[in-house]
Amino acid sequence: MRYAHHVDQVRTAEAALMAALPEGALMQRAAAGLAATCAGLLPRVYGSRVLVLAGSGDNGGDALYAAARLARRGAHAEALLLDPAKAHAEGLAALRAAGGRVTDDAGAFGRADLVLDGIVGIGGRGPLRPAAAPFAAMARRGPVVAVDVPSGVDPDTGEVTGPALRADVTVCFGTHKPGLLVDPGAGYAGVVHLVKIGLDLPPAPVEALQGADVAALLPVPGTESDKYRRGVVGVAAGSTRYPGAALLAVAGALRGGAGAVRYTGHAAEEVVRRHPETLISDAGPARAGRVQAWVVGPGGGDGAEHALREALDTEVPVLADADALTELARLGPDLLAGRPAPTLLTPHAGEAARLLAGVGEHTDAETVAARRLWAARLIAARYGATVLLKGSTTVVADPEGTVRVNATGTGWLGTAGSGDVLSGLAGSLLATGLTPLDAASAAAHLHGLAGRHAAGPGAPITALDIADALRPAWQSLTG
Ligand SMILES: NC(=O)C1=CN([C@@H]2O[C@H](COP(=O)(O)OP(=O)(O)OC[C@H]3O[C@@H](n4cnc5c(N)ncnc54)[C@H](O)[C@@H]3O)[C@@H](O)[C@H]2O)[C@@H](O)CC1
Ligand SMILES: [K+]
């Protein structure tokens, strides 16, 4: 598991640790870890050109001390001070003592074998200021290593509201920051290395499951299991206009761990032709027969409201997607109030904007994509449901405030019907007994892996390719 903490939590933990350590010890731990990572990125340290972009805070201090360590190993280290009068004095003295020097030549950026971005860390707010902004667009020769956070990325949210420095590697201290795990910020962070500095931190508000965590969640049938004991997932999807969505949701559900899939809707014939193992029901969710979870909405068309209401009236978990979300946004969160079982909503950015409008928060898909944590948390809180917000990093938020992010995806997943496969998959995992948080985050992880598997080194994929790749994706976790 990767854990990420907010800036105020880091500051509190840092203050407690600093009080117990000799002055400057913590910064030396950070600088030592940073210098070690940089050394590993250079073919050889001796003779390499290292440039520090140093801001006015301790982030600049970390970078200057790390550059001093590299200078002691023979690197030509230079520092470009963005606010010379306020530069970190001790760090600068250490750099000079090690043979490094200050430069005011911005061209050094393009010549450096490695750039250390020590402009701002967790003290940063908003985009790069004018003195640093030009570096965001400048050509670089060697890797840019962000110190703690890529400057210009909001550490708590991952929001990027103007120029920011794109890093190849980010070395963060003590814990991850949410902005390193959530897009758009995650896209600026590159590969993230964590340097442990001994912080005693509270429970993490944001976490990211790793392969082993997902493997531990996935259901394994016991010797006594049969199709009913493994869980039956109901799929109410598709319409005469959109039969394909039903096929795709069922394809995902069949590969999600449930023992059987029960389908109800207008595409029964097509579903059975393509997936003969599906149980078909003529009645809607209210009378379709026993299931342990319902998936409702993909390609639902005009029938979506009816199917949603019937599914919500059952006593099992309900996953609402696509047209069911549009209906929910129109009808409002009261529709979910008092349900005896949890609800999982799986919007993309546009549907999330609709759900937000349904609670009086008028916004658009672009804003949701730029403020993913905010949007997912707000929908979860206002609808009292778990939310899986699809997109470049998938954010899963539950109404109690836990957030999980998933970054296994690839841009190739942005293909028609991909979300239908995901909702079937997540619903199937719900039917096996996983909580909505676990089902949603495991499904997002598997779906991302399947997309990568299907796309291989890089090629367009179809939603059915993703469904087909779910089995090797699952095997890659459990094998
Ligand atoms: N104090 C310590 O012993 C340790 C410090 N660490 C480092 O200290 C950092 C936090 O240091 P600070 O609290 O001094 O804060 P920062 O160094 O992150 O930034 C503070 C300074 O940047 C300016 N600033 C804010 N937003 C800006 C923007 N958008 N563009 C340009 N300048 C901006 C502020 O005016 C302020 O002067 C961490 O991120 C980490 O790198 C720790 O990680 C390790 C231990
Ligand atoms: K930085």
Which residue puts its alpha carbon closest to atom 41 of ligand 1?
59
264 has a pLDDT exceeding 90: yes
Ligand closest to 170 (CA) is 2
CATH 3.40.50.10260, the chain: domain bounds: 2-207
Q: pLDDT at position 414, please?
A: 93
Q: pLDDT at position 373, please?
A: 97
Kindly give the distance from the C-alpha atom of residue 121 to the centroid of ligand 1, in angstroms, as a whole number. 4
For domain 2-207, give the fold. Rossmann fold (3.40.50)
Q: What is the ipTM of this complex?
A: 0.95
Task: Give me the percent of the chain exceeding a pLDDT of 70.
Answer: 100
Among the listed residues 273, 289, 295, the one whose alpha carbon sits nearest the alpha carbon of residue 227: 289
Q: pLDDT at position 224, please?
A: 83
Q: Looking at the DSSP assignment, which residues form a beta bridge with residue 114?
A: 50
Cβ-contact 258, 229 below 8 angstroms? no
479 has a pLDDT exceeding 90: no
Kindly give the distance from the C-alpha atom of residue 126 to the centroid of ligand 1, in angstroms, as a whole number. 13
Q: How big is the chain, counted in residues?
A: 479
Q: pLDDT at position 372, please?
A: 97
Kindly give the distance from the C-alpha atom of residue 147 to the centroid of ligand 2, in angstroms, as a whole number. 4
From the annotation, which residues make up the binding site?
A: 58-62, 117, 121-127, 148, 151, 245, 299, 348, 390-394, 419-420
Q: pLDDT at position 228, please?
A: 86
Using CB atoms within 10 Å of the CB of residue 453, give its burial: 0 to 12 exposed, 13 to 18 middle, 19+ buried.
buried
Ligand closest to 127 (CA) is 1
Using CB atoms within 10 Å of the CB of residue 224, give its burial: 0 to 12 exposed, 13 to 18 middle, 19+ buried.
exposed
For domain 211-478, give the fold. UDP-N-acetylmuramoyl-L-alanine:D-glutamate ligase (3.40.1190)
Kindly give the distance from the C-alpha atom of residue 31 to the centroid of ligand 1, in angstroms, as a whole number. 14
Which residue puts its alpha carbon closest to atom 2 of ligand 1?
27
Task: Give me the percent of the chain exceeding a pLDDT of 90.
Answer: 97
Q: Which long-range contacts (CB under 8 A, 24 or more apart) does 331-339 make?
A: 331/305, 331/358, 332/358, 332/359, 333/358, 333/359, 333/382, 333/383, 333/384, 335/308, 335/309, 336/312, 336/383, 336/384, 336/385, 337/384, 339/312
Task: Tell me which residue has tokens 């099992």.
Answer: 316
Q: pLDDT at position 226, please?
A: 85
223 has a pLDDT exceeding 90: no
Q: pLDDT at position 1, please?
A: 95
How far apart are alpha carbons 204 and 271 in whole angstroms?
A: 43
Structure confidence at residue 31 as a pLDDT band (50, 70, 90): very high
- Write the CB contacts of 165 (distance below 8 Å, at least 6 apart in sequence): 53, 117, 119, 128, 132, 135, 136, 144, 146, 150, 151, 152, 188
How far apart are alpha carbons 220 and 224 in whole angstroms?
A: 11
Ligand closest to 52 (CA) is 2
Instruction: Identify which of 8, 52, 90, 120 to mutate to test ligand 1's pocket (most ligand atoms within 8 A of the CB).
Output: 120
Which residue puts its alpha carbon closest to atom 40 of ligand 1?
59
Kindly report, residue by residue over 78-96, the tens digit of the pLDDT.
Answer: 999 999 999 999 999 999 9
Lining residues, ligand 1, CB within 6 Å:
14, 18, 26-27, 30, 55-60, 62, 119-126, 128-129, 132, 147-148, 173, 197
Sheet containing 318-320: give its strands across: 2-4, 206-208, 403-406, 394-397, 386-389, 343-345, 318-320, 293-296, 232-236, 260-264, 279-281
Q: What is the pLDDT averaged over residues 176-205?
A: 97
Q: pLDDT at position 316, please?
A: 98
Kindly report, residue by residue over 156-182, the tens digit of the pLDDT.
Answer: 999 999 999 999 999 999 999 999 999
DSSP string computed for 327-351: HHHHH-GGGGTT-SS-EEE---HHH
Q: Which two tokens stand for residue 32?
A: 């030592």
The helix/strand/coil state of 157 is coil
DSSP string computed for 217-263: HS----TT--TTTT-EEEEE---SS-HHHHHHHHHHHHTTT-SEEEE
Kindly give the distance from the C-alpha atom of residue 352 to the centroid of ligand 1, in angstroms, as a whole number. 34
Q: Which two tokens stand for residue 68?
A: 């001093």
Q: pLDDT at position 130, please?
A: 95
Which residue puts its alpha carbon closest to atom 43 of ligand 1?
173
Instruction: Identify which of 21, 37, 59, 117 to mutate to test ligand 1's pocket (most ligand atoms within 8 A of the CB).
Output: 59
How far apart are alpha carbons 469 and 412 in whole angstroms?
A: 13
Q: pLDDT at position 452, please?
A: 97
List, in sequence order, every beta strand (DSSP E) within 85-154. 101-103, 114-118, 144-147
Which residue puts its alpha carbon closest to atom 25 of ligand 1?
124
State residue 34 phi and psi, 5-degree precision: -65, -45
How far apart are alpha carbons 360 and 197 in whole angstroms?
A: 43
Mean pLDDT of the residues in the chain: 97
Which residue puts its alpha carbon closest to atom 13 of ligand 1?
123
How far apart are alpha carbons 158 and 136 in whole angstroms?
A: 17
Task: Tell me which residue has tokens 């963060």.
Answer: 172
CATH 3.40.1190.20, the chain: domain bounds: 211-478
Structure confidence at residue 225 as a pLDDT band (50, 70, 90): confident
Q: pLDDT at position 24, please?
A: 93
Q: What is the pLDDT averaged over residues 62-88?
A: 98
Kindly report, residue by residue over 311-337, the tens digit of the pLDDT.
Answer: 999 999 999 999 999 999 999 999 999
Query: What are the angstrom distances between the C-alpha of 264 and each of 51, 281, 328, 339, 383?
Result: 63, 5, 20, 22, 26
Which residue puts its alpha carbon closest to atom 4 of ligand 1?
27
From the annotation, which residues make up the binding site for AMP?
A: 390-394, 419
